[in-house]
Amino acid sequence: MASRRRWMSAQDFEQGWWERVARRIESGQAEEITYHAWKASEMEKRLEGFLSEEQKRSAQVLEIGCGPVGIVSYVPWGERFAVDSLEDFYRSNPTLTKHRNPAVRYVKGTGEEVPFPDRKFLLVILDNVLDHVQSAERVLREVRRVLADDGLFYFAVNVRTLPGSLLHTVLAALQIDKGHPYSFTSSSIRRFLCQNGFDPMKEWVSDAKEARQRDRKAPELRHKIKGYTGLYEFVYYAVCSKSGNGA
């Protein structure tokens, strides 16, 4: 578990990063935020066969750590909710929230204290969030609490090789990487899910070698450093159900 001070530092870093994104969009140096549509499409492919069309139409769906828009804005199922600790900031910046779906209810809250009742949601989404939080264990406990007993947990997080993860753990502790208090490998995150009450029913891991080469060939120095030091990231995805291991 990260300290409160460490987590607040990560939050400040995250807000500052999005402030810079907004300025770049406004100046024409960056494109508008539309990649969540692609993420939603990929998620729907991974969930194929797990839910019937009738279940999708009536589903209660929650995304935790949605950011300014979120995957949930592009999932046309049932009733949709989104939670983020920086919601007040996002809501105040129309450049960042331009592509929000008005059918989604956006709420301020943290993954450690999700402001919804037990077993409410058929689908909970946690994408690129768990390495940013104060307490990864509490976040997974909260996901488990609000997830229906027959519900699905769609999970994605950036991972590294073991040497890269060990190096990143040091950099995170020194706050050289302020935004990510946690670091995982594909093996360690699977164990972590199982230890906290989830059964990964289907898993995917993106290509580590491709990620390494992409960073090494990138024009930016920081990406080259990641590529040559082992800090490059790839992605672990899982569709999980509740297991018997948990509260």
pLDDT at 95: 95
| Range in 56-70, 96-110, 163-177, 223-237 the model is least confident about | 163-177
Q: How many CA atoms lie within 13 A of 162 on its CB side?
A: 2
Q: Which two tokens stand for residue 245?
A: 């291991």
Please state at what angle helix 136-146 crosses helix 186-195, rounded to 10 degrees. Answer: 50
Q: What is the pLDDT of residue 224?
A: 95
Spell out the domains of the chain, with CATH numbers in brackets. Answer: 4-242 (3.40.50.150)
Q: Is 153 helix (H, G, I), strand (E, B) or coil?
A: strand
Residue 18 CA to residue 223 CA, distance in Å, equals 19
Global model pTM greater than 0.75:
yes
pLDDT tens, position by position, 93-117: 999 999 999 999 999 999 999 999 9
Residue 61: how many CA atoms within 13 Å on its side-chain side?
Answer: 26
pLDDT tens column, 139-185: 999 999 999 999 999 999 999 999 999 999 999 888 888 888 899 99
Residue 246 has pLDDT above 70, yes or no: no
